[in-house]
Every structure is written in structure tokens, then in C-alpha cells.
Amino acid sequence: MSWHTNAIFYELYPRAFADGDGDGHGDFAGMRQKLEHLQWLGVDCIWLTPFYPSPLKDDGYDVSSYYGVHPAFGQLEDFKMAVEEIHRRGMKVIIDLVMNHTSDQHPWFKEARRSKDSPMRDFYVWSDTQNRYRDTRIIFLDTETSNWAYDEGSGEYYWHRFYSSQPDLNYDNPAVREEMLNTIRFWLDLGIDGFRIDAIPYLFEREGTNCENLPETHQYLQELRRFVDQHYPGRVLLAEANQWPQDLLPYFGEPGAEEFHLCFHFPVMPRLYMAIAREDRESVVRIMTETPPIPEGTQWATFLRNHDELTLEMVSPEDRKFMWDYYAPESRQRLNLGIRRRLAPLVENDRRKIELLHSLLFTLPGAPVLYYGDEIGMGDNISLPDRNGVRTPMQWSNAENGGFSTARPDALYSPVINDPVFGYTQVNVESQREDAESLLQTIRHMVLTRKNTAVLGLGRLEWLHDLPKETLCFWRKDENGAFLALHNLSARPITFALPEFEPGYEDLLKTGEIVRETIALPAYGYRWLLPR
Ligand code: NOJ
């Protein structure tokens, strides 16, 4: 079994994690000093969000050079030292690769927009009208009105799926495809363990389609994977494709035509929150039932939150309305087709629900991806624009700036959360490490227990259907054994009979306790049981 199929991932925002040089921005030097926390937590692989040179109009997802480090994060040397330290501590690291588009400040685009005859013109997608590819949806609905932007200087429109400051690369151009392989080679040569690849459904455009998931895109991704397997065997690729499960399946590829080792499972995420809000397992059971089996050696990457809005693209309009009404009653909490809040505030800081969601994350199929700060129940800052409110400085201690930086508070890239409930004096790593009952300690206990329970990697899922709809109970089974996960999605205690098993079950989280016959789950309770 390859490591990635049963790994715990941790999404780390370098700007937000730890500031080593006191300039108010997180950097690689600061990160190095804090890796002990992740090792202690049981993280197997860190995912670093973009740290490339960038004007930071989309927080680094607007790359202006693929071959360097934004000066705020340090130098390439600092990156290498961080990678070394991650490896020394027994963890792996994957980095974000933003291959669909560049920043408009990338030298390629600056040159391409100089004139219609520029030798770089064909690196991007141009048109003299906005009428091409009209069946393509707009993703950043709150800011963009078209996927075309007019370039005054050269008198044509260029194509962009995200902000107009992020022109899409033209993958029909072999030189672009080649450049991307060079980029991949550069970073893999530095010893990283793989990539999380951004926005992959949109690489190619074809008239008469929605310009997503095209056969040409799959072909190129297969070429990319062959390149990685041939020159860097063992490195992994994780796909960010916000799509339905049946459209995601092809991104794993097939034997002989592989694509990704892991794909994020976007549709299950909002349904976990929906199930708790409705006290009904139905939406989760349905989406998991609609999730096709995936090829051997691949895995879903599952998550509760990430650095973006909690996306509601993969739910019906009725469900979206329900989720907005329930979890984002104020319009400023909404963004595009999603909700720009962190996990703890979403569930009103109800410890029981935070734990319940994590229990689902760790026991349902998939490799869990934690988002920095959620392990201590960090809050958000809704007064900040865009998604910045869920990207505030990590809260390490009750020292000034939450221990994130020694800079003057007004020099920080973002204010530290400082409200009475989620502020750094209440919520921080240091105090939760000292407290055996803290959320951090509970999540760590779940992480370590999951890592010791091999069946949770690839074990097949079997539902317990005969129980009340307020429960979400299932087996995971394979040659490693069986595991029974019990969840109460409701605010009322529920008692029910366990599937018969002689002599009983061992409660894995409360080590040693044996459970027989009936079980009483408190409101939002959960149990992890192993037949004995
Ligand atoms: C997906 C990333 O997660 C998001 O943060 C970014 O804005 C878009 N892709 C564009 O790169």
C-alpha cells in the first residue's frame, strides 16, 4: 500500500503559519521552527499553498514566476531547508502547482500582450469577440461578469476562468505544455513529494462544450503523470477538481493511462454539514453511494474546510439555499457559491459538533486533509474581504500577535483574531497542548488512533441502514479487519442495539472499554468500535 492511501494531510498557508524574521508575514524560517507541532499532531504530509513570486491578487494563486519564492517567504534556500526539516521529522510535503493560469504580471503575459504578433502571444487564449465558449460558467461570480477581459493595448480579449488578473494559459500550445513539465521537474528535483494541482478541469477550451473535463485535458494529464512516474517514481499528484463524483473518476485515470493518485472529494464535504443541520444522514449516504469505486492505488482526499469559501457548487439550488440560510444567515458570510467561514464558527463553536465532524472525516473513506488552525478551533474575521477572513495568523500562544510574529501588530499581513470567543488568548496551541481535555488533544488522539487502524485506509464502506435517520453508522471492512463507526447527528441522545458480536466491541477512543448489545450516544456523540 502506498503511503498516500492512508495519510493524514495538513494544508498549511505559509503566510499565515509563523513569521521567522519579524516582518509580519509568515515565512519558511518561521515554519521550520513550528514543524514539531505537526509531527506531534501525527501529520504525514504537509500541503503548502502557493509561495511563488506573485502580486498576491489571489493570495499567490496568481503566479508571476514558477521558479522561485516570493521574497516575503524567504529565498529558495529557505524553502530547501524547510523541506529538509519536514523530511527529517518523518513527514512529506507537496506543493501547490497553479498550472491553469498565471498572473497578468508574469513575464510571459507581459510579453504576450505587447502585440498580436508577439512571439509569446500563443501562450494565452485570445479572441476578437467575447462570443466564444459561451457555454462556460463563471466561477468568481461576485467579481467577474465574463470569462473574457479586454486588453486595451493589443485590442483583443483574453480568456480567464478566475480573476481577470489571472489569464489562462493556452494548453493547445506545445510550448506551454513543455514549460509546465519543466516547472514540475524543477520542484521535484528539489526533493518534494508531489503536487496539489490547482484548477485542473479547465486546461483546454473547445467550442460547443462547457470547457471543463475535456478529453484533451485528460490526455495532457496522462502525459504529465507518465513524466512523473518515469523520472520521479513514488511522487504523488493530488487533483483539485470541484466536480461531481462521476466526472472526477476519469481524473484517477486507468491502468496504463493513470492521472492522479488522489482527488479531492468536493461533493461529500457540504453534505457532512447538511446532515448535522438536518439531523438526517440521507445526503451523505446518497453521495457516498453515488461515488464510484476508484482504481487500485488511488484515494479520495477528504476535508471539512480549506482556504477557500465552503463551496456549495456541488449541491442542488434547494440544498444551497438551505445551507446558506442555516450556516450563512448574513449576506456578507456568503461568497460566490459558498460560505466564507471557518469550521468552529460555522457550528457556533459547539465542541460536540466540531468533534463529530472530525470523527466523520477520519472514519469515512478517504485521506483526511486538515486545514491549519482547525485543530484548535480557530475563528474567522468576516470583516476582511474575499477569503482573507479564513486565512488569519495561526494562534500559537497567548503572547502578542498570538505568538505568530514579533512585528508590531499593525505590521502583520492580517490582524490576528482577537475577539472574546475565538481570540488568541482563548484559542491557541500552547494552552491546548497543556490541557488533556482540549480540542487539539482530542483531534490528535483521533489522528493517532486512525493511523493505528489500517482498515480506515481502504476498507470498504457498509451502512447500517436499519437505524434511525438521525444516526450515521457504518462498517469499514477489509483484510485488516472490521471497524464500526457510530455517529449521532442530532441534538437528542439515541440508544440502539449494536449488530450482534460475541463477545463485544472494544471502544477504540476510550482505550480498553468493552461495549456490548446496546449503545447510548449522547447528542452529537460518536464512537469508534472494534469487534473483539
Ligand atoms: C482554486 C484555489 O483553491 C483558489 O484559492 C484560487 O483562487 C483558484 N483555484 C484560482 O487559482
Query: How far, in Å, from the CA of 461 to the mean position of ligand 1?
Result: 31
Q: What is the DSSP string of 333-387?
A: GEETTEE---HHHHTTT-HHHHHHHHHHHHHSSSEEEEETTGGGT----TTSSTT
Mutation to probe ligand 1, out of 13, 58, 63, 203 (largest number of atoms < 8 A from CB): 58
**DSSP secondary structure code for residue 6 in this structure:** G
For residue 224, give the amino acid letter.
L
Query: Is-above-0.85 flag for pTM?
Result: yes
Q: Which of 388, 196, 416 is nearest to 308 (CA)?
A: 388
Name the residue at shortest CA distance from atom 11 of ligand 1.
61
Q: How far is the CA of 249 from the CAs of 6, 72, 260, 266, 300, in angstroms?
A: 19, 38, 10, 12, 10
Mutation to probe ligand 1, out of 308, 310, 386, 391 (largest number of atoms < 8 A from CB): 308
pLDDT for the residue numbered 183: 98
Confidence of residue 288 (pLDDT cuts 50, 70, 90): very high
Q: Which residues line ligand 1 (CB under 6 A)?
A: 58, 61, 98, 162, 198-199, 240, 307-308
Query: How far, in Å, from the CA of 61 to the mean position of ligand 1?
Result: 6
> 227-263: per-residue pLDDT in tens?
999 999 999 999 999 999 999 999 999 999 999 999 9
Confidence of residue 433 (pLDDT cuts 50, 70, 90): very high
CB atoms near residue 182 (< 10 Å): 10
- Give the catalytic positions in this structure: 198, 240
Query: For ligand 1, what atom is nearest to the CA of residue 62?
Result: 11
> 376-412: per-residue pLDDT in tens?
999 999 999 999 999 999 999 999 999 999 999 999 9
Query: For ligand 1, what atom is nearest to the CA of residue 308?
Result: 5
113 alpha carbon, distance to own chain's centre? 33
Mutation to probe ligand 1, out of 162, 242, 264 (largest number of atoms < 8 A from CB): 162
Name the residue at shortest CA distance from atom 3 of ligand 1.
308
> 456-508: per-residue pLDDT in tens?
999 999 999 999 999 999 999 999 999 999 999 999 999 999 998 888 999 99
CB 144 within 8 A of CB 138: yes
**Which cell numbers in the block locate residue 162?**
478566475
Q: 276-288: buried (b, 16+ CB within 10 Å) or exposed (e) per residue? A: bbbbbbebbbebb
Confidence of residue 225 (pLDDT cuts 50, 70, 90): very high
Query: How far, in Å, from the CA of 198 to the mean position of ligand 1?
Result: 7
Mean pLDDT of 290-301: 97
CB 409 within 8 A of CB 418: no
